[in-house]
Structure 1
């Protein structure tokens, strides 16, 4: 038995040795064949590795926000952003978070309390200090003092029966929502419109409010008279609200003035202006002032003029004064639940946007990013020209006008260069006179008045940059009425872009954002403006109809999208402007990305062997990574911006290059058979 086993073992060993010898011979044979073939060096995907602190931060976001357990072809948002909430406490994405960073940097600057010859910086410092001091004052005393100052302001604006003078005096204090009408800025235009805001306070609360103001000021209130006045105020407000209208167009101010005799609109508008520049401003603004055409102003039998004619002047005056009193209340600034920031610092940035930008740029901003972004804008515009040239359905006349609009599109990248000069903003702050003796209530009222003057300076082309709060933080936007693209400094800063980033990372990080804003010039609304910013239909009827058909494809795509948060379909008609811009922006960014010579660019740490095309989409998705959706459904249904999830999954799944990069099967969530193409 043992002898038989020994023989079997010997045979097995011999067979194994023969198999090993055969394998060696095969390897030697293959080696000889390989030596006879031409040899090629391995393809080098990148050149070195970027190890700057900014690149390390970018690598951190790419590594730590993604969820590798999720199939990108099933849900790319979760694959790229699934663990964002574990890494960040900020509500919203990094675009929102940048605003808080800028606010903190401005606060740090104000805390230093450095001596300055800049009037704008001194005004900011005083505003901030008075705001902070009020936190430690007795709340009851503050309310009493505010009521006294409120009555002083009411005495300044006047009383009935001279309603017209009342309106212009209110305008001189920066009041723009009169209840009867509103005077608002829109891009570089001034728009007179029906004021849609209504009084929602109960009669009892209004009476208590008025009685408290009179009592604090030593005036004995007449309860019966107040009750009657409040009833008349609310009835007047109700009558104004009953005129329903749907404005479809705009007319110049002269047309409105011919139809309304009870209001001197020119006098009101000129009252807003800095007295030293009133004549100069008016000559520029008069041709930029329009009224929304509606029955509220132009109905032949019942309009605002007929209502004002029959309403007692006492009622009109009381109504205007009460709305003025309400406007003096402190505006509410949203506070996130997770990240707390100084509310006084936020108010400074809100009321002083341009000086805040100047502080950020002078003290914390890498100015080299301006040139990088400016060049990228031009590259993306060139790619858009390629899109139009390649279009198979646009007729030549429309194609040439589209190209001309892109070529003539103006840009403000970061901030105008004139802001770099010392005291560049001070000449625009000469009318803002704040005193150490002013209360915070008075300072805030003065700043609000000045803020509207500032906006009119911009419309009159005297101020080189829009004093809009949106210009602070990480923002980019397009103004169709000016054919103007604006990129705020915050979006041209870490973590979105840095001079040390590889070129492909710069493009992927902000390329879609830039392309998106440029694309707004050709969304369903923006395409109705020409290269000079005038509302004009420059499309052939056939091209216009084809564009609408293609836009409807995008609307249907959103309507059919089963939102994972709300568990239902949403309204694509509301979001089509943003969806169209997203689709355009992603395409333009991709085109620029594919022109980069990767062999001359460093890799991102930890992604040395990553497929570049996959990396592009991961980098682009970072801007939309955010916490859990908190917007109520009713608000979401009317919100023009789609959810962050859709801006990744909905937009990327419409892009065939995404499906190719991740090899997604046709019919999978991220590679549907039906895709939409605008141009």
Structure 2
């Protein structure tokens, strides 16, 4: 409801479709109206425009004294992005809330349908990509080879998505038989399957040949290149965490899918075989879950980085540790040959030796009873992991059966927004965009950059980064609690940071992209064979990375360019600001109000830049070699973070951390002392984050003020005239942290990272949607509100902008 006494240019009822220009285009594109109806619609639209103009004029007159000699020509009204950005901001806001006491509710407490800005930007980027892939690009045969492959790959996926069931052979059955997987289920002998019946050989086939997650992940490494290496799986299969609570439902899924496979194999009357298969899978899943929980309680605080020297071992060392079960040399050779020659002295990265030992003990205990039963159970479990791995690539019948299970065990999955606008993330566009991203990530990134990144934006983003880096250096010079030697080393790390803004040069290099994807040919393969060719491409790519000198600017190390996040990569001291983050509203085009750049991208850059020399950077280096902060500096820093802890207590924030911390797994039987230790660690991490964020928003605001003092024509104002420009800065800053009510911000993220999770190639993704606070809100929403309000309570510029009383202003800044 419109708040009385407040002037609004946009209101949630007016802007539900994301801005007036979008509404108009949809009216005339989608509604073939008769002439009389068109006239009525046109008359209504003219009336609406007249009302908006009158409101603008009235508000401009009323607020003229507050904004100087503000004229309508000073307001950004002709740029569609200005209108849509203002509309979205107004939709998120609840101006009936008191900004000084709860600014999060003021900036984010609107109609509840809008999420945080980065999440919605990513959803918008994915929709643009899907639309572009479906359109065919307009160039047909004139497109470069990599782009034709990308578009054909996507089209083949949507064709497969619409396939209800198989006509002829099920391709998974042929793959299983060729690899010797599924002997019990398919009633085959080891000799009939090429002698691959042993547990080690089955594991080699599932996690080596097909790169599917099963028991654990190992990473082969050469020389000193110990990062970004080839993960071969995840610790547990994707559904193991839900076995305990949904055991019978999970059993039903396994039996149904196994029965469908046997039907496709023309094997009837196999009820007993299916029952045994399901029992074996459940038994192994439950045992692995217990092992996982034991490892979780043992985890060090903080955890060692993956490249810690203690995690390195030779193949022969790992074989000795668990030699009776796995031939690691043959397993890795299956992945990397002919790209690498695996020897006994080849180094392997083992991120958790304790898990390896626990797994060995588990396998020992399972094998003591009957070696025959042990082999059957483990082979059935590995067979199931392979089936689940390909669940998205089989016919619609298989995919929908898995999807029905996920919707029950992940109730919040129904809140996931699909690319096509549906809920659950099971629409063709969502699934196929993620599959194409998994198979041809760099190609999809290049397509996004070419379609959405305006000329000159990369240079402007680089200039903004350098401005924020200089501001960070000035901040170091002003610190009174950091000694001179620590300051010197901090400034050196700041100077050494590698800037990666926008995109790499290869994104515009057709010859590079053609060569990169030469072994993928969507035109001549069946769809299942196309997926297998992508797996082989991944294996070839990872083997290549192991033997190449690391180049931070290589396209391989830029991630997904449509993602709107910024992050500091500690190992290589890189700041990655991908093209997706340098879009409206975080980073406006040259003609739009630059307020958006400073409240958005600049504040995010400042936060990540601070990580290059803050205490977390020191802690990371201390784990790898030795820290670089002096003891005196650490002591002074800790004294000052006590102020932040006091603010957390004042806001009853500690209650959230002690009871509903999202990082804790819901099924983990954690001891009370362990919970206390882990939560204390989390409080320290969050206080460090808050210290950085306080500095980031202050730095971005200072640079915005400097921008306004520069000569030349001032920026036009956004049409949110019930706010001053200073107030708008903090509103847009805060809206990066908004969360939808009733759904954590991970709802959109799950859909966008599905391929990483499902393939097991990029790490496993655990959602936190199950964590609710006692008042019904999501824990992540509470975290966002408490953290963001704490940050702004320490921003003097914020208090001045909103006229907050002195008691609402604190002084806990560290940097």
Shorter-chain TM range is 0.7 to 0.9
| 1:557/1:433 CA distance change after superposition, 3 Å | farther
CA offset digits 1:25-78 (Å, max 9, x no partner)? xxxxxxxxxxxxxxxxx9999996656614454455556654444442233234
Task: Report what 1:501 is aligned to.
Answer: 592
1:595 equivalenced with 2:654 (yes/no): no
C-alpha distance in structure 1 between counterparts of 2:697 and 2:721, whole Å: 24
Deviation at 1:413, TM superposition (A): 0.9
Q: How does 1:255-294 map to 2 (within 5 A)?
A: 255-261=317-323, 262-273=325-336, 275=337, 277-278=339-340, 289-294=348-353
Deviation at 1:193, TM superposition (A): 8.9
Task: Report what 1:585 is aligned to.
Answer: 696
Task: Report what 1:443 is aligned to.
Answer: 530
Q: 2:792 aligns with which of 630, 638, 652?
A: 652
1:133 equivalenced with 2:223 (yes/no): no
C-alpha distance in structure 2 between counterparts of 1:204 and 1:56, whole Å: 51
Task: Report what 1:108 is aligned to.
Answer: 131
Larger deviation, residues 223-232 vs 359-368: 223-232
1:79 equivalenced with 2:106 (yes/no): yes
1:547 equivalenced with 2:587 (yes/no): no
CA offset digits 1:604-636 (Å, max 9, x no partner)? 155799755434323323433454242377436
SS at match of 1:399: helix
CA offset digits 1:578-617 (Å, max 9, x no partner)? 4444334223312322332435332415579975543432
C-alpha distance in structure 1 between counterparts of 2:781 and 2:319, whole Å: 37
Task: Report what 2:814 is aligned to.
Answer: 678
Q: How does 1:599-610 map to 2 (within 5 A)?
A: 600=712, 601-606=714-719
C-alpha distance in structure 2 between counterparts of 1:488 and 1:529, whole Å: 24
SS at match of 1:101: helix
1:512 equivalenced with 2:603 (yes/no): yes
Deviation at 1:489, TM superposition (A): 1.0
| 1:640/1:410 CA distance change after superposition, 3 Å | farther
1:476 equivalenced with 2:566 (yes/no): yes
| 1:634/1:610 CA distance change after superposition, 3 Å | closer
Q: How does the TM-score come out when normalised to structure 2? A: 0.65
Q: Is the 8 A contact 1:251 1:293 kept in 2?
A: yes
Larger deviation, residues 141-150 vs 372-381: 141-150
Q: How does 1:374-413 map to 2 (within 5 A)?
A: 374-413=462-501
Task: Report what 2:187 is aligned to.
Answer: none
Q: How does 1:181-220 map to 2 (within 5 A)?
A: 181=217, 188-189=228-229, 195-197=235-237, 199=240, 200=243, 202=248, 206-219=254-267
Task: Report what 2:733 is aligned to.
Answer: 620
SS at match of 1:179: coil
CA offset digits 1:302-350 (Å, max 9, x no partner)? 6467568755444433332222222111286964289447335533553
Q: Is the 8 A contact 1:147 1:217 kept in 2?
A: no
Task: Report what 2:386 is aligned to.
Answer: 324
| 1:609/1:134 CA distance change after superposition, 3 Å | closer
1:415 equivalenced with 2:503 (yes/no): yes
| 1:178/1:71 CA distance change after superposition, 3 Å | closer
Deviation at 1:651, TM superposition (A): 1.8
| 1:107/1:509 CA distance change after superposition, 3 Å | same
C-alpha distance in structure 2 between counterparts of 1:381 and 1:277, whole Å: 40
Q: Is the 8 A contact 2:180 2:197 kept in 1?
A: no
SS at match of 1:253: strand
Deviation at 1:359, TM superposition (A): 0.9
Deviation at 1:211, TM superposition (A): 4.2
Larger deviation, residues 100-109 vs 55-64: 55-64
C-alpha distance in structure 2 between counterparts of 1:65 and 1:296, whole Å: 45
| 1:486/1:268 CA distance change after superposition, 3 Å | farther
Q: Is the 8 A contact 1:414 1:489 kept in 2?
A: yes
C-alpha distance in structure 2 between counterparts of 1:551 and 1:448, whole Å: 47
C-alpha distance in structure 2 between counterparts of 1:218 and 1:468, whole Å: 47
Q: Is the 8 A contact 1:66 1:81 kept in 2?
A: yes
| 1:82/1:232 CA distance change after superposition, 3 Å | closer
C-alpha distance in structure 1 between counterparts of 2:194 and 2:148, whole Å: 32
| 1:349/1:321 CA distance change after superposition, 3 Å | closer
Q: Is the 8 A contact 1:373 1:492 kept in 2?
A: yes
SS at match of 1:511: helix
Task: Report what 1:145 is aligned to.
Answer: 170
C-alpha distance in structure 1 between counterparts of 2:616 and 2:782, whole Å: 17
| 1:570/1:323 CA distance change after superposition, 3 Å | closer
CA offset digits 1:220-269 (Å, max 9, x no partner)? 67655665565455444444444422343441132534533243435434
C-alpha distance in structure 2 between counterparts of 1:570 and 1:523, whole Å: 27
CA offset digits 1:108-152 (Å, max 9, x no partner)? 332332225644323322222122223443x24379735545544
C-alpha distance in structure 2 between counterparts of 1:646 and 1:466, whole Å: 37
Task: Report what 1:15 is aligned to.
Answer: none
Q: Give aligned pairs, total.
A: 620
Task: Report what 1:21 is aligned to.
Answer: none
Deviation at 1:438, TM superposition (A): 0.5
Q: Is the 8 A contact 1:77 1:621 kept in 2?
A: yes
| 1:153/1:433 CA distance change after superposition, 3 Å | farther
Deviation at 1:416, TM superposition (A): 0.7
Deviation at 1:436, TM superposition (A): 4.2
| 1:63/1:117 CA distance change after superposition, 3 Å | closer
SS at match of 1:362: helix
Deviation at 1:368, TM superposition (A): 1.1
Task: Report what 2:119 is aligned to.
Answer: 96
Q: 1:343 aligns with which of 383, 407, 430?
A: 430
Residue ranges of structure 1 left out of the alignment (5+ in a row): 1-41
- Structure number with bigger Rg: 1
Task: Report what 1:23 is aligned to.
Answer: none
Larger deviation, residues 461-470 vs 204-213: 461-470
Q: Is the 8 A contact 2:213 2:232 kept in 1?
A: no
Larger deviation, residues 180-189 vs 374-383: 180-189
Deviation at 1:92, TM superposition (A): 1.5
C-alpha distance in structure 2 between counterparts of 1:241 and 1:58, whole Å: 46
Q: Is the 8 A contact 1:512 1:588 kept in 2?
A: yes
Residue ranges of structure 2 left out of the alignment (5+ in a row): 1-66, 182-192, 305-309, 393-398, 407-412, 662-678, 745-767
SS at match of 1:292: coil
Q: Is the 8 A contact 2:92 2:108 kept in 1?
A: yes
1:178 equivalenced with 2:226 (yes/no): no
| 1:451/1:103 CA distance change after superposition, 3 Å | farther
| 1:495/1:181 CA distance change after superposition, 3 Å | closer
Deviation at 1:428, TM superposition (A): 2.1
Larger deviation, residues 361-370 vs 140-149: 140-149
| 1:543/1:566 CA distance change after superposition, 3 Å | closer
Deviation at 1:84, TM superposition (A): 6.0
SS at match of 1:486: strand
C-alpha distance in structure 2 between counterparts of 1:221 and 1:482, whole Å: 58
Deviation at 1:270, TM superposition (A): 4.3
SS at match of 1:649: helix
1:529 equivalenced with 2:620 (yes/no): yes
CA offset digits 1:402-460 (Å, max 9, x no partner)? 22222212122111112212232222223334344503x44344435544654665565
Q: Is the 8 A contact 1:398 1:540 kept in 2?
A: yes
Task: Report what 2:355 is aligned to.
Answer: 296
1:253 equivalenced with 2:322 (yes/no): no
Deviation at 1:652, TM superposition (A): 1.0
| 1:104/1:345 CA distance change after superposition, 3 Å | farther
Q: Is the 8 A contact 1:59 1:605 kept in 2?
A: yes
